[in-house]
Amino acid sequence: MKIESPAFTMDDVKAFMSTYRDRERHLLADRLQRISDRLAEIGPHVSSRQSDEAEWNAHEVLAHLAVVSKFYGVLVHRIASGKLTDMNLLEAVNLRDAAGKQMSEMDPAELLRMTLADHQRTINTLRTADPSSLQNSARVDDGTTMTAEEVARLPLITHMEMHVEQLEKLLPSR
C-alpha cells in the first residue's frame, strides 16, 4: 500500500473532514426519513384516547413526537443558520413538555401530519445545508455547547427513533 499521508497538507485534512461531514449530514437526513416513513405507516393506527396513567399511551407518545420534531428541528435550523448562539436548554425543554401536554389533546391524524411536515423541513435543512454550518454551535448552559449536527443526531433523531420504537410496542399488532 502506498503511503500518502506525508504529502498531506492541513488543507487536505480539512477537505477530508468536509467530505466526512457532508456524508454524515446525508446519513442523518436518511435516518430522519426512515423515522418519517415508519411514522407514516404506523401513525394512522393511533387512536385518540386520554389517560391518567403514569405511562404514556400511543396518543401521548405521538403528541410528544410532534413536539420533539418541531422543537429540535427548529433548533437545528436556527443553530445552523447562526441565528441561535445561546439558550437555556433546561428552560426550553420545560416549555416543550408543557406544549406536549396541550398537543396530546389534538387529533392523532393532525399530530401525524404536523410531525411529518416538520420532519420534511428538517430533512431539507440537512440535505441542503453547507456541511460547515452544521458545526455552528449554541451554548446550552454555563459550560455546554451543542452543534447543529449534535442537536440533529441526539435529541432529535436518536430521541425520535427511541419513541417510535415505544409507539410500535404500544400499538396492537397488525
98 within 8 A of 49, measured Cβ to Cβ: no
116 within 8 A of 40, measured Cβ to Cβ: yes
Q: Where are the domains positioned within the chain?
A: 55-174
Q: pLDDT digits over 133-156, tens only?
A: 999 999 988 889 999 999 999 999
61 within 8 A of 164, measured Cβ to Cβ: no
What pLDDT does residue 52 have?
Answer: 67
C-alpha cell at 160: 425520535
Q: DSSP characters for 32-43?
A: HHHHHHHHHHHG
C-alpha cell at 157: 433523531
3-state class of 85 per DSSP?
A: coil
d(CA 137, CA 68): 19
Q: Taking residues 78-99, report their average pLDDT.
A: 86
Against a cut of 0.75, is the pTM above it? yes
Q: pLDDT digits over 107-132, tens only?
A: 999 999 999 999 999 999 999 999 88
Superfamily of domain 55-174: dinb family like domain (1.20.120.450)
